[in-house]
Amino acid sequence: MKIHLRDNLKLFSIALMAIGTWLINEKVQPKKPVMNEMVEAAKNRFYSKSTKIINTDDSGMHLFTLNADYVEQESSEVIKFYDVTISYSPQSKIRWVLKSDLATKNRSDEYFILEGNVSASDMNEISNSSVIKTDQLQIDPRTHSVKTDRTVDITIDNNVLSATGMLAILNENKLELISEINGSFFKKNIVSTK
């Protein structure tokens, strides 16, 4: 079998042109924009451990404190707080402390959404504390309102109430249960006016 230089030269030329075309295409072709968006999004996120946020009103008066073990910016619109405690300032005379596994704050909303093992405890020094438990709660710390459409369990001086849905105004100590209200009251807590 004879090898002809002319046939090998044609084959070699075709291979060189294919490699050259591929190299030029790789250099000229623009990078994928998806990767640029992902890199840009990652640059603008933040994380924080052991965070304490002290919120004030327009005059500078301390309204409430939010403590979180960990904070993560999900996007430019959403921040998530983990292992959260929200307590009001002593000047506000609101004795409620709220805790949850997660709090979500959207930039466009004034309120936080608390989720996972949510509890609101009244730190009343005169009587036993009152505790509200649910799996999700919306709180607007500026208006002192909390609400949910989920099941709530409320313990007040060893009496137990449960309901679906609730609205509370913390600074007025007002509580409205929405539906499916059930309760158990111990006789020792009922005062007779005879």
Specify whether the CB–CB gap between 131 and 154 falls below 8 A: yes
pLDDT at 8: 62
pLDDT at 120: 87
pLDDT at 149: 94
Q: How far apart are CA 62 and CA 74, in angstroms?
A: 27
Residues in the chain with pLDDT values less than 50:
34-35, 37-42
- The structure's pTM equals 0.68
Specify whether the CB–CB gap between 169 and 145 falls below 8 A: yes
